[in-house]
C-alpha cells in the first residue's frame, strides 16, 4: 500500500475532515513531506481515525503512526505480508484492530513496544518485512529498469552486475552488488490502472 502526503500539520487539515476534539495534541510535528509517497507497514484504528504506520524524516529503525487525514491513497492494494488482528490493550476498554505482518499483529501491542525500544530481534524482523514491502509496489520516484539477461537473470544498468531473478510479483528489485533499487521488467501488474 502506498500513500501520498497532502497535509503535514493539523491546522492545514480542513476542519470538515476531522472532528475538532478527536486529538489532544494537534500541534504535533509528524515529520512528513507534502507530495512525498510512503509505504504503509501497518494500519490501525484509533479515535475514529485510520492511522498508518510509515517512515518519516525522523525514521530510524521503526515506523511511526500518522493519521490518515494527512494522506491520499495512491496504491490501495494491501501487502501480501499482512494479516488482521484485534487485541485489547492493557489500559483500554476496547480492542483495537491492526493490519500488519504476522509477528507484529499476533503480538500487538508488545511487538511495537519492543521494536520502538530497539530490541534486536524485533528490529531485525521489521527490517526484513520493510525490505519486502518496499519492493512490493511501484514507486513513481524510480525510473530505471533492470535489464533482462535471459529467462533467469537480470542485469543492473548501473554496475552491470547480473543476478538470478525470475519473479514477477514485486514491482521493484534491488541489485545485490550496488544495492540500487530498479523497476522489475518482469513485474506483472494485475491492476495496470494503479
Give the pLDDT of the chain (194 residues) as one tens digit per residue. 999 999 988 777 777 666 555 555 555 667 899 999 999 999 999 878 899 999 988 777 899 999 898 999 999 999 999 999 997 766 667 788 999 999 999 987 789 999 999 999 999 999 999 999 999 999 989 999 999 999 999 999 999 999 999 999 999 999 999 999 999 999 998 776 65
**Beta sheet of 71-75, edge-to-edge order:** 37-39, 2-5, 71-75
> Which three cell numbers mark 6?
497532502
Instruction: Answer yes or no: are the C-beta atoms of 161 and 178 closer than 8 Å.
Output: yes
Residues across the chain: 194
Nearest to 119 by CA among 104, 141, 101, 98: 104
SS3 category, 172: strand
d(CA 170, CA 68): 25
SS3 category, 164: strand
d(CA 1, CA 167): 20
Amino acid at each position: 500500500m502506498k500513500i501520498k502526503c497532502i497535509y503535514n500539520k493539523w491546522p492545514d487539515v480542513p476542519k470538515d475532515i476531522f472532528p475538532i476534539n478527536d486529538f489532544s495534541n494537534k500541534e504535533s510535528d509528524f515529520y512528513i513531506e507534502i507530495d512525498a509517497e510512503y509505504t504503509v507497514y501497518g494500519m490501525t484504528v484509533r479515535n475514529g481515525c485510520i492511522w498508518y504506520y510509515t517512515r518519516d524524516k525522523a525514521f530510524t529503525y521503526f515506523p511511526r503512526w500518522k493519521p490518515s487525514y494527512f494522506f491520499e491513497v495512491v496504491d490501495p492494494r494491501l501487502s501480501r505480508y499482512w494479516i488482521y488482528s484485534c487485541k485489547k490493550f492493557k489500559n483500554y476498554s476496547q480492542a483495537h484492530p491492526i493490519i500488519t505482518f504476522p509477528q507484529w499483529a499476533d503480538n500487538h501491542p508488545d511487538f511495537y513496544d519492543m521494536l520502538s525500544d530497539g530490541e534486536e530481534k524485533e528490529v531485525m524482523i521489521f527490517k526484513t518485512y520493510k525490505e519486502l514491502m518496499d519492493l512490493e509496489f511501484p514507486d513513481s520516484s524510480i525510473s530505471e529498469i533492470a535489464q533482462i539477461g535471459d529467462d533467469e537473470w537480470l542485469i543492473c544498468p548501473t554496475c552491470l552486475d547480473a543476478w538470478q531473478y525470475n519473479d514477477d510479483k514485486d514491482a521493484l528489485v534491488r541489485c545485490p552488488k550496488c544495492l540500487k533499487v530498479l523497476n522489475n521488467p518482469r513485474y506483472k501488474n494485475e491492476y495496470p490502472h494503479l
